[in-house]
Amino acid sequence: MKQGTKLLWGAAVTAFMLSASACGKSEEKSDGSAEKTGATVGKAIDQATDKADAAMEKAGEAVKEAGEKVEEVASEARDKMKESKK
């Protein structure tokens, strides 16, 4: 091989080795912004879930009350129909 080709291959291998070794270091030195973002998103999801749970409980209670009222009104209507048939 020619001297220039050997030098080119040596430079390419050195550049590859340096870039490969630098990849792990950048992750180690990171301030954990992805982790912080994940924690923030997790908290937001938890808060939204808590609010949704409370809203669902209120809605469930309202539906239950409405069902009881409908049952009461229907019972009164049946009683009136029975009385009117007599």
Query: Is residue 45 pLDDT above 80, yes or no?
Result: yes
Q: Quick one: average pLDDT of 9-31?
A: 66
Total Cβ atoms within 10 A of residue 48: 10
Q: What is the mean pLDDT of residues 57-77?
A: 92
Give the H or E element holding residue 32. none
Report d(CA 41, CA 70) in Å as an integer: 42
pLDDT above 90: residue 82: no
pTM of the model: 0.45
Q: Kindly tell me if the per-residue pLDDT of 26 is higher than 70.
A: no
